[in-house]
């Protein structure tokens, strides 16, 4: 079946909600429109002129990027500048660009979890709490033959996500009774005639942040012009989210061995090591990690007893502070976040299979790492 851009992003937002992004992080649609059919989706870490040229060559309709292409407001749109010319090229070729940045870092089964999986770090929790979200419950009454469509619509809107399970719901069968009056346009029954219908009560939970989207999806999927539904606040359910992860290796290993594991896991020619206690034979086990530029979270790594903290782009003077605090830090660079490309392509191809989408999902082959070791 054909895939519309808005439909695809509904699924993506349910997995990686934009509301989880840090304040002022410009996630979401940056360029173009989602109101079109998609034939090819390309995933990239960065949106650079070379990536745009690749997208044009491969007839891409939508680019999913980790790093927002317009992170700071553009002050000029001169076509003489390569970075701004690429915006014009994207618009000219009708290529939309959608970014998932810190929300992809924060979500469960997101980038920081993939790092831990790659490095065999287990029993993880977030490093720095960013959000506490309260939950609500929707109870909606629909004719029995409309239950499958309703559950699917609610799931696409992000309802029914519980831990490692999605599309969770509860149904109870009963009898609905109503009498249409003058002015009504009933989907079932006639004006002035009492009607009874076998209905299902469908209950789903959802984070309070997406209530408007869930209610909109419910109304659109409901066959009645006046849906009957209730929304309850759930006092006993909240969920915390956070940046970074901290966990443990299955057994303590020498720092030297772990450094080699990091280099091999991310195909690095080298990395930076910070700290006064850099005895490479020292045994380590408790590891904290935050992809990208996570230097400001190093105090949390200290508070939570990390033997080593892994993050990129450590500033010179912050490195001095880390050293003074006695924290060993591995800086593998920012570009290790490219891991998200293959992971997202795998995820999107699974959705393609599950929902029978007629769309190609590809990885960008452009190396956007600006740093080369010699």
List the domain boundaries for the chain.
3-101+338-363, 106-130+243-335, 131-240
Q: How far is CA 238 from the centre of its chain?
A: 19
Q: Torsions phi, psi of 364, nearest 5?
A: -65, 140
Of the two residues 182 and 246, the one the predictor is more confident about is: 246
Residues linked to residue 173 through DSSP beta bridges, in sequence order:
200
pLDDT for 136 equals 95
Q: How far is CA 129 from CA 12, 43, 107, 241, in A?
A: 23, 28, 12, 6
3-state SS class at 14: helix
What average pLDDT score do residues 281-302 get? 96
Least confident of 102-106, 149-153, 235-239, 338-342: 235-239
Q: How far apart are CA 107 and CA 19, in angstroms?
A: 11
DSSP alpha helix (H) spans, the chain: 5-15, 49-57, 82-92, 102-106, 111-119, 147-156, 211-221, 255-265, 298-303, 316-324, 339-355
Which two tokens mark 220? 């659109």
Contact (Cβ atoms closer than 8 angstroms) between residue 360 and residue 40 = yes
pLDDT for 235 equals 86
Which two tokens mark 346? 């795998």
**Whole-angstrom Cα Rg for the chain:** 25
Contact (Cβ atoms closer than 8 angstroms) between residue 60 and residue 103 = no
What average pLDDT score do residues 287-313 get? 97
Contact (Cβ atoms closer than 8 angstroms) between residue 64 and residue 42 = yes
**What pLDDT band is residue 306 in, cutting at 50, 70 and 90?**
very high
Share of the chain above pLDDT 70, in %: 99
Q: How far apart are CA 2 and CA 357, in angstroms?
A: 6
CATH architecture assignment, domain 3-101+338-363 = 3-Layer(aba) Sandwich (3.40)
Which two tokens mark 120? 């065999």
What average pLDDT score do residues 207-233 get? 93
pLDDT for 317 equals 97
Helix axes 111-119, 339-355, angle to 10 degrees: 110
Least confident of 63-77, 85-99, 103-117, 132-146: 63-77
**What pLDDT band is residue 278 in, cutting at 50, 70 and 90?**
low
pLDDT for 29 equals 98
Q: Torsions phi, psi of 230, nearest 5?
A: -130, 150
The residue among 266, 298, 243, 295 whose CA lies nearest residue 369 is 266
- Highest mean pLDDT, choosing among 77-81, 137-141, 160-164: 137-141
Contact (Cβ atoms closer than 8 angstroms) between residue 238 and residue 132 = yes
**What pLDDT band is residue 169 in, cutting at 50, 70 and 90?**
very high
- Within 8 A by CB and 6+ apart from 319, the residues are 274, 329
- List the CATH code of the domain at 131-240: 3.30.70.120
pLDDT for 164 equals 79
Contact (Cβ atoms closer than 8 angstroms) between residue 311 and residue 291 = yes
Helix axes 111-119, 255-265, angle to 10 degrees: 120
| Domains 3-101+338-363 and 106-130+243-335 are alike in CATH topology | yes
DSSP letter for 363, please. E
**What pLDDT band is residue 184 in, cutting at 50, 70 and 90?**
confident
Q: How far is CA 354 from CA 4, 106, 347, 350, in A?
A: 16, 25, 11, 6
pTM of the model: 0.82
Check whether 163 has a pLDDT greater than 80. Answer: no
What average pLDDT score do residues 21-40 get? 97
Q: How far apart are CA 348 and CA 367, in angstroms?
A: 21
Domain 106-130+243-335: CATH superfamily, name plus number: NIF3 (NGG1p interacting factor 3)-like (3.40.1390.30)
**What pLDDT band is residue 191 in, cutting at 50, 70 and 90?**
confident
The residue among 140, 9, 29 whose CA lies nearest residue 91 is 29
């Amino acid at each position: 079946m054909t895939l519309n851009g808005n439909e695809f992003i509904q699924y993506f937002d349910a997995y990686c909600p934009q509301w989880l992004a840090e304040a002022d992080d410009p996630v979401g649609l940056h360029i173009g429109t989602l109101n079109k059919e998609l034939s090819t989706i390309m995933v990239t870490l960065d949106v650079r002129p070379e990536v745009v040229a690749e997208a044009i060559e491969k007839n891409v309709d939508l680019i999913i990027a980790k790093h927002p292409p317009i992170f700071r407001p553009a002050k000029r749109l001169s076509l003489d500048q390569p970075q701004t010319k690429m915006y014009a090229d994207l618009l000219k070729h009708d290529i939309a660009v959608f970014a998932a940045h810190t929300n992809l870092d924060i979500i469960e089964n997101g980038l920081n979890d993939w790092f831990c999986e790659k490095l065999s770090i287990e029993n993880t929790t977030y490093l720095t709490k960013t959000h506490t979200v309260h939950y609500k419950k929707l109870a909606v009454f629909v004719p029995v033959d409309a239950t499958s469509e309703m559950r699917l619509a609610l799931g696409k809107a992000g309802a029914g996500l519980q831990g490692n399970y999605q599309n969770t719901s509860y149904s109870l069968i009963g009898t609905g009774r109503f009498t249409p009056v003058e002015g009504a346009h009933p989907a079932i029954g006639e004006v002035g005639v009492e009607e009874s219908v076998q209905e299902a009560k469908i209950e789903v939970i959802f984070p309070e942040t997406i209530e408007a989207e869930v209610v909109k999806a419910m109304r659109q999927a409901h066959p009645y012009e006046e849906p009957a539904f209730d929304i309850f606040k759930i006092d006993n359910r909240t969920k915390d989210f956070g940046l970074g992860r901290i966990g443990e290796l299955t057994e303590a290993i020498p720092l030297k061995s772990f450094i080699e594991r990091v280099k091999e896991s991310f195909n690095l020619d080298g990395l930076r090591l910070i700290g006064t206690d850099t005895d490479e034979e020292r045994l380590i086990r408790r590891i904290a990690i935050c992809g990208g530029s996570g230097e400001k979270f190093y105090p949390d790594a200290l508070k939570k007893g990390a033997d080593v903290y892994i993050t990129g782009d450590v500033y010179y003077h912050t490195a001095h502070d880390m050293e003074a605090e006695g924290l060993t830090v591995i800086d593998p660079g920012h570009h290790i976040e490219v891991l998200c490309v293959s992971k997202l392509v795998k995820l999107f191809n699974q959705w393609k299979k599950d929902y029978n989408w007629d769309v190609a999902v590809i990885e960008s082959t452009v190396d956007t790492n600006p740093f080369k070791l010699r």
